[in-house]
Amino acid sequence: MSPDPKAMKFLAASARHLRVSEQSFAQTVPSPCVSVCQMSDATGLCQGCFRTLEEIGQWGNADDAFKRVVWTRIEARLTEFES
């Protein structure tokens, strides 16, 4: 199963928005989960949100700084995947 192009576009737009936005989120940095929870053996990434298992596991207890780092990684991964 290959990544869903719609999910990729959504993630890319969300990552860009999060990176450039000066707005602080009322609750917390949003999760990149798009409910396509399937890990790729080839990349070691979730095919829906492009996170590693470690990033997914840490997300619930992570602070916003860590979550922003993960979003930055997702954006980079998407860029690499589209190349």
pLDDT of residue 13: 87
Domain enclosing residue 69, as ranges? 5-18+31-82
**Residue 75, domain member (yes or no):** yes
Write the DSSP string, 15-39. Answer: HHHHHH--PPPSS-PPP---S---B
pLDDT of residue 22: 56
Distance CA 77, CA 70 (A): 10
What pTM was estimated for this model as a whole? Answer: 0.82
pLDDT of residue 51: 98
**Residue 26, domain member (yes or no):** no
pLDDT of residue 21: 72
Number of domains in the chain: 1
Grouped pLDDT means (10 residues each) for the chain, 83 residues: 79 83 66 94 95 97 93 94 77
**Residue 58, domain member (yes or no):** yes
**Residue 23, domain member (yes or no):** no
Under 8 Å between Cβ of 80 and 8: no
